[in-house]
Amino acid sequence: MKKFHNQTRRNLLISSASSIAIAGIASFQKTVFAQAASDVIKPLPSYVAWKDPKSVIIHSSTTIETKRSAFGTSVITPTEQLYIRNNLPAPNPSIVANRDAWEISIQGVKEPRVFTLAELKSLGLETTAAVLQCSGNGRGYFPSKPSGTPWTVGAAGCVVWSGVPVRQVAQTLGGVLPSMKFITGTGGEKLPDGIDPKSIIVERSVPLAAMQDALLAWEMNGVPIPLAHGGPLRLIVPGYAGVNNIKYIKELTFSAQESDAKIMSHGYRMTPLGGKTDPSQPSVQEMNIKSWINSPFTDNGQVKPGKVQIQGVAFGGLHAVKGVEVSINGGKTWEQARFVGPDLGKYAWRQFVLEVLLGSGSYTLASRATDTSGKIQPETRGENQSGYNNNSWADHSFNIIVA
Amino acid sequence: MKKFHNQTRRNLLISSASSIAIAGIASFQKTVFAQAASDVIKPLPSYVAWKDPKSVIIHSSTTIETKRSAFGTSVITPTEQLYIRNNLPAPNPSIVANRDAWEISIQGVKEPRVFTLAELKSLGLETTAAVLQCSGNGRGYFPSKPSGTPWTVGAAGCVVWSGVPVRQVAQTLGGVLPSMKFITGTGGEKLPDGIDPKSIIVERSVPLAAMQDALLAWEMNGVPIPLAHGGPLRLIVPGYAGVNNIKYIKELTFSAQESDAKIMSHGYRMTPLGGKTDPSQPSVQEMNIKSWINSPFTDNGQVKPGKVQIQGVAFGGLHAVKGVEVSINGGKTWEQARFVGPDLGKYAWRQFVLEVLLGSGSYTLASRATDTSGKIQPETRGENQSGYNNNSWADHSFNIIVA
C-alpha cells in the first residue's frame, strides 16, 4: 500500500498564516515534519506506542488509521485500534499526570466559572456510545486527490464515552444566556509562539441543539481518555464529525456567533471543487448515513468458495440506522442484511451480516444503509475540494476473487 | 492489602490424584509454584504482560483480579483490565499463531464431525455482551476463609463476545440426538503426564437449554480472544459462572449425562460448610442477582464532602437486572438508583448511579439489585465450603469517611 505524507489541515493553516511569524512557524513545522519522516521507519510514534501496530496504517505522526481488515464484530472499537487524527501535536503528558486538576472555563451562562475535572465528576454522569469519525474518512476514494490524509474507512470507530452532560453543567450554572445559538469548544493544545492564535487554535462551534446529548467526557471504553485521544477532558458531540469533538477542552462557551478561529471560518467547509474556502459554505458537522463492509476484505482480495458471512458497520449521524442492504454484484441487486449484536443507541454503529454462498468467480461487494429519517446512503460522493463527508456506497465497494 | 498464595482448584485436584503419578505431579506443581512465587516480585506473568498492571491485583500467576477502583463506567470491561483465572496453565502460544487451523470436534449430533475455526466462521455470526464472573468472586468476604483465591469484586467483567451460535452448529450437523440433556465442553489445555486425565481435565456440562444463547466465540471486545482468555476458541454460556465457559475448547458434546471429570463431579459444588464435595450437591452454574458499588471506593476510604455520584454495576445471571437501590447507612434505608449508559442485553451488567450530598461523617455504602424474575439480592451470603456464589449485599458494602 502506498504511503503518503500527511497534508494536515494544520499545515494548511500554517502555510496561510501571517508572514511576520515565519520564523516561529518554520521551527514548529520542522518538529512536525521531523516526526512525520521518522514514522516511515518507526512503527508507532511514542505518544501512541500502546496502539496495536498490526491493526493500523500509519500515515504520519498525527494521522493513524485502523486497517479495514482489523475491524472486529464486537460493536466497540478497541482503544488500541482506534484511529488518531490530531490537528496539532498532543500536549505535554504532564496534563494527564494529575487529571482531576485539569481546568475548564464555562462561559455564556448566568454564572460563568471555572471547574476542575474533579468538580465536574461530582456534577453528573452519563455514558454514551457514539461513532467518532474524521471528516475526511473516505477521502482516499476521491479521484480529485484532495490534499490531506487519504483515509479509506479506518478513520472511524465506535466508542463508549463517559462524562457529565453539557446540559447539566449549564443548568448548574443557572442556564445558558438568552440569544446564545452555539456551543463553542476551545482545545488546550500548546500553540506555537509568534503566530496569531486564531489562525491555528482548535476551536469549533456546533448548534446549541447539540447540547441535548453532548458530554464533557473523561473516560472512553472503560479507561481515562488517553492523551492522544483528548484526555483528560474531551467535548463529545454525538453524531458530529470528529473535529467538533474538542480534545483537551479548556473552554466551553455558549456563544451568539460561531467561533472566528480559522479552523471554523475557513477550515472544514464544503468547498466546491477548485473553489476557495469561505465561511458561507456549509461546515462539516452532522455525519451522514453511511456503511461499509469489513469482511471478507483481504489484502489480496482472495476468498475461498462456500458459505461466507459478509459483515460490516452502519451508522446514521444524528439518526439511528434502520437497515442495511448488501450487494455482491456492485449494486445491480441488493439483499437485506440482518443486524447482529447489541444496539448501543442511535449514535452507535450497528454490525450487519448477510450470509451468502459464493462459487468461484469475481464479485463486487457493497453495502447501502438507510436511517430512521428515511435517508439512503447514496451511490456517489458529494464532490468537494477537501474530500469531506464521503458516504458513497460505490466508493466503499471492493472486489473479491473467489477461487 | 494482604496477598495470599492461590489454592487453586487445580492444586486441590492434583493433591487428591492417584498416588502412582506422584513424580509427574511433583514436577508439574513445582513449575506452577515457581511461577506463583516469582509473581510476588514480577508485576505481571509473561503470558499476560499486556495487562494494565495498575488496574489489577496479582494473586498468583493464574489468578489476577481487577481492582475495585479501576472499574470504569463504560459498561464494557477493557480486556487489559479483565480478571484472569485459569484452572490449568495456558497452553503454548503456538495455538494462537494460526487461529483458523484450531480444530473442534462436535459430538452427540446426527452427523458428528470436526470443524476448523475457519469453517466455524463461515457458519454464522452472533455478538453477545455477557458478564464473565468467577464462581469464587466475593470469596474474600467469607469469614470461614475457604481455600482458593480470596477475590473481592474483581473476578468479574462485562465482555462483548463474537462467534457462532451453538444452536446453529448443531443445526448444521442435523440436530442434537434425542435424549441428550447437556452441553459438555472439553478444554484443550495440555495435561501433565502420568495422571488420570479425568482428575485434572477442564470439562464441564451445562443444561441443554443453555444452547439457545451459547456461542463458540473467537473474538472478545473487538479482538481475537487472547490466549490467556481462552483463544483461539472459547465456549461462552451467557449467564453461567466463568468455569462453564470452556477455554481452548476442543470438543463440544451433546451428552445424556454430565461429564464424569473431577472438576464436574467433585469441583464447583455447593458443599455445606465442613462437608465433603459430592456429585449430589448443586453445581455452580447460573449466576445470581448481584450488584456492587465501585465509586467512591478508595484505598484509604477518604471522600471529600459535597455532591457525590455513587456508581456501580448490577447483573442478574439468566435474567436482566430490573432495578438497583443504594444505601448510605448500611442498609437501614434505601434509595432507587438510575441506570446510565446503553443496555447491552439481559446478560450484560448495567451501570447504576445515585447522586447524593454527603456532609462530614462516616457512611456505609451498599447496593441491592432486583432482577426481572423478582429475585432480590440477599443481605447474607449462602455459606458453603468453597466460598462460591457470594451475592450478599452486606458483604459487598464498605465504609467511607467524608471529611
pLDDT tens digits along B243-252:
999 999 999 9
> Residue A122: which of B122, B309, B343 has the nearest Cβ?
B309
Question: Residue A392, Cβ neighbours under 10 Å: how many?
Answer: 20
Cell readout for A196 is 496569531
Cβ distance B309 to A345 less than 8 Å, yes or no, reads no
What is the band of B305 on the pLDDT scale with cuts at 50, 70, 90? Answer: very high
In a domain, B34, yes or no: no
HSE-up of residue B266 (Cα within 13 Å, Cβ side): 16
One domain, residues A314 and A167:
no
Residues present in chain A in total = 403
One domain, residues A175 and A246:
yes
- Residues with Cβ within 8 Å of residue A345, at least 6 apart in sequence: A128, A129, A320, B342
Q: Are A239 and A229 in contact (CB under 8 A)?
A: no
Q: Are A291 and A321 in contact (CB under 8 A)?
A: yes
In a domain, A243, yes or no: yes
For the domain that residue A258 is a member of, what is the CATH number? 3.90.420.10
- The pLDDT, as a whole number, for residue B298 is 85
Q: Which residue of A has its CA nearest to B82?
A: A222
Question: Which position has the higher pLDDT, B258 or A13?
Answer: B258
Cβ distance B129 to A308 less than 8 Å, yes or no, reads no
Report the SS3 class of residue A114.
strand
Q: Which residue of B has its CA nearest to A225?
A: B72
- The pLDDT, as a whole number, for residue A15 is 32
One domain, residues A121 and A63:
yes
One domain, residues B84 and B167:
yes
One domain, residues B159 and B236:
yes
In a domain, B353, yes or no: yes
Measured in whole angstroms, the distance separating CA B82 from the mean position of its chain's CA atoms is 10
Residues present in chain B in total = 403
Nearest Cα neighbor of B321 from B356, B355, B367 is B367
Cβ distance A74 to B307 less than 8 Å, yes or no, reads no
In a domain, A248, yes or no: yes
Q: Which residues of A touch B171 (CB under 8 A)?
A: none
Q: Which residue of A has its CA nearest to B164?
A: A309
- Choose, out of B51, B76, B161, the residue to mutate when testing the contact with A (most A CBs < 10 Å): B76
- The pLDDT, as a whole number, for residue A394 is 98
Domain that holds residue A196: 46-266
What CA–CA distance (Å, rounded) separates B157 from B44? 19
**pLDDT tens string for chain A (403 positions)?**
333 333 333 333 333 333 323 333 333 333 333 334 444 444 799 999 999 999 999 999 999 999 999 999 999 999 999 999 999 998 999 999 999 999 999 999 999 999 999 999 999 999 999 999 999 999 999 999 999 999 999 999 999 999 999 999 999 999 999 999 999 999 999 999 999 999 999 999 999 999 999 999 999 999 999 999 999 999 999 999 999 999 999 999 999 999 999 999 999 999 999 999 999 999 999 999 999 999 999 888 999 999 999 999 999 999 999 999 999 999 999 999 999 999 999 999 999 999 999 999 999 999 999 999 999 999 999 999 999 999 999 999 999 999 9
Cβ distance B307 to A123 less than 8 Å, yes or no, reads yes
Reply yes or no on whether the pLDDT at B38 is more than 50. Answer: no
In a domain, A8, yes or no: no
Q: Which residue of A has its CA nearest to B353?
A: A125
In a domain, B175, yes or no: yes
- Residues with Cβ within 8 Å of residue B205, at least 6 apart in sequence: B182, B183, B184, B185, B255, B257, B258, B259, B264
What CA–CA distance (Å, rounded) separates A169 from A157? 27
What is the band of B8 on the pLDDT scale with cuts at 50, 70, 90? Answer: very low
Nearest Cα neighbor of B308 from B335, B342, B345 is B335
Cell readout for B243 is 468455569
Report the SS3 class of residue B40.
coil
What CA–CA distance (Å, rounded) separates A304 from A363? 12
In a domain, B244, yes or no: yes
Q: Which of A266, A298, A320 is the last residue of a domain?
A: A266
- The pLDDT, as a whole number, for residue A43 is 78
CA distance B119 to chain A (A): 9
Q: Which residues of B touch A307 (CB under 8 A)?
A: 122-123
Q: Which residues of A touch B128 (CB under 8 A)?
A: 341-342
Cβ distance B74 to A121 less than 8 Å, yes or no, reads no
Backbone angles phi, psi at A187, to 5 degrees: -75, 155
Number of structural domains chain B divides into: 2
pTM to 2 decimal places: 0.89
Q: Which residues of A touch B (CB under 8 A)?
A: 52, 71-79, 81, 121-129, 160-162, 219-223, 306-309, 311, 340-345, 348, 351, 353, 355
In a domain, A205, yes or no: yes
One domain, residues A57 and A204:
yes
Report the SS3 class of residue A328.
coil
The helix (H) or strand (E) run that includes residue B295 is: strand B290-295
Kindly report the average pLDDT of chain B as a whole number. Answer: 90
Q: Which residue of B has its CA nearest to A343?
A: B344
- The pLDDT, as a whole number, for residue B176 is 98
One domain, residues A218 and A256:
yes
What CA–CA distance (Å, rounded) separates B367 from B337? 9
Which region holds residue B126: left if phi is over 0, alpha if psi is between -120 and 50, else beta?
beta
Report the SS3 class of residue B402.
strand
Give CA separation, A211 vs A169, A378, B222, B326, B390, in Å. Answer: 10, 29, 30, 29, 42
One domain, residues B247 and B363:
no
What CA–CA distance (Å, rounded) separates B365 from B353? 12
* Partners of B217 in the β-ladder: B163, B234
One domain, residues A250 and A303:
no
One domain, residues A169 and A241:
yes
For the domain that residue A398 is a member of, what is the CATH number? 2.60.40.650
* Partners of A106 in the β-ladder: A113, A252
